């Protein structure tokens, strides 16, 4: 049973890769619904809202106690998803919460900022300046989330089994690679061939 976590930069086409990989592998794809479930279990809706508010428009600052309760609930939700299997988890620090969980493939999808800006501007029909501002805010928010809640650097390559740059790899090729990794990681260690 395949279990994949996908961390992605806004405009990197990571969501598209995740959706195609989920369809090909016959997996469920989860994203923000994980935040909502963890916040519900932790009785901390302000944490969920602050995480979803990537642009920090609401200026929410959950208490340390609420953040801890949320992290505990997120760990529980992530482990339940991984145990059930056949899931692709997009974002939500899956590369951290499931880093020691056996058989999970951790992937990061990136692209150069200029290309991400072009893609976002075209997709949303907005100016490059507006797209640049959204990219910067998203990168900052995702980086701060991992630092604040999990004390890790989002860019740390040791959190991932694979990093794919979509400036050089098509969505179709990236999907192929993710699926191969997911299937390889899903095999018990005794059946994997040595590299």
Using the predicted structure, report yes or no on whether residue 75 has a pLDDT greater than 90.
no
Q: What is the pLDDT of residues 107-129, one digit of tens each?
A: 999 999 999 999 999 999 999 99
Q: What is the pLDDT of residues 134-168, one digit of tens each?
A: 999 999 989 988 998 889 999 999 999 999 999 99
Superfamily of domain 3-189: P-loop containing nucleotide triphosphate hydrolases (3.40.50.300)
Alpha-carbon 100 to chain mean position? 16
Q: Can you give the length of the chain in residues?
A: 195
- pLDDT at res. 125: 97
- Partners of residue 62 on adjacent β-strands: none
Average pLDDT along the chain: 88
How many whole angstroms separate alpha carbon 88 and alpha carbon 22? 6
Using the predicted structure, report yes or no on whether residue 190 has a pLDDT greater than 50.
no
Taking alpha carbons only, the member of 127, 151, 141, 13 closest to residue 71 is: 151
SS3 79: helix
Strands 87-90 and 28-30: parallel
Residue pair 108/95 in contact by the 8 Å Cβ criterion: yes
How many whole angstroms separate alpha carbon 96 and alpha carbon 31? 15
- Using pLDDT thresholds of 50, 70 and 90, give the confidence band for residue 49: low
State phi, psi for 128 to the nearest 5 degrees.
-65, -35
Averaged pLDDT, 73-84: 89
* CA end-to-end span of the chain: 22
Averaged pLDDT, 45-67: 67
- Using pLDDT thresholds of 50, 70 and 90, give the confidence band for residue 51: low
- pLDDT at res. 194: 47
Averaged pLDDT, 92-118: 95
Domain boundary assignment for the chain: 3-189
Using the predicted structure, report yes or no on whether residue 46 has a pLDDT greater than 80.
no
How many whole angstroms separate alpha carbon 103 and alpha carbon 89? 14
Greater pLDDT, 45 or 4? 4
Which segments within 34-115 are labelled E, that is strand? Answer: 87-90, 104-110
Using the predicted structure, report yes or no on whether residue 191 has a pLDDT greater than 60.
no
- pLDDT at res. 20: 98
- pLDDT at res. 37: 76
SS3 7: strand
Q: Structure tokens of 150?
A: 């999990």
Taking alpha carbons only, the member of 13, 178, 15, 4 closest to residue 112 is: 13
């Amino acid at each position: 049973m395949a279990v994949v976590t996908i961390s992605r930069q806004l405009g990197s086409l990571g969501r598209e890769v995740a959706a195609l990989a989920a369809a090909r592998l016959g997996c469920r794809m989860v994203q923000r619904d994980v935040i909502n479930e963890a916040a519900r279990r932790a009785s901390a809706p302000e944490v969920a809202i602050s995480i979803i508010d990537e642009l920090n428009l609401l200026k929410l600052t959950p208490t340390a106690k609420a953040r801890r309760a949320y992290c505990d609930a997120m760990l529980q939700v992530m482990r339940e998803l991984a145990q059930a299997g056949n899931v692709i988890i997009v974002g939500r620090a899956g590369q951290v919460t499931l880093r020691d969980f056996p058989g999970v493939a951790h992937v990061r999808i990136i692209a150069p900022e200029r290309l991400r800006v072009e893609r976002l501007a075209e997709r949303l029909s907005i100016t490059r300046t507006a797209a640049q501002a959204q990219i910067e805010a998203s990168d900052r928010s995702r980086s701060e989330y991992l630092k604040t809640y999990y004390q890790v650097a989002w860019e740390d390559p040791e959190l991932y089994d694979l990093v794919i740059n979509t400036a050089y790899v098509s969505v179709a090729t990236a999907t192929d690679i993710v699926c191969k990794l997911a299937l390889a990681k899903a095999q018990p260690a005794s059946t994997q061939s040595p590299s």
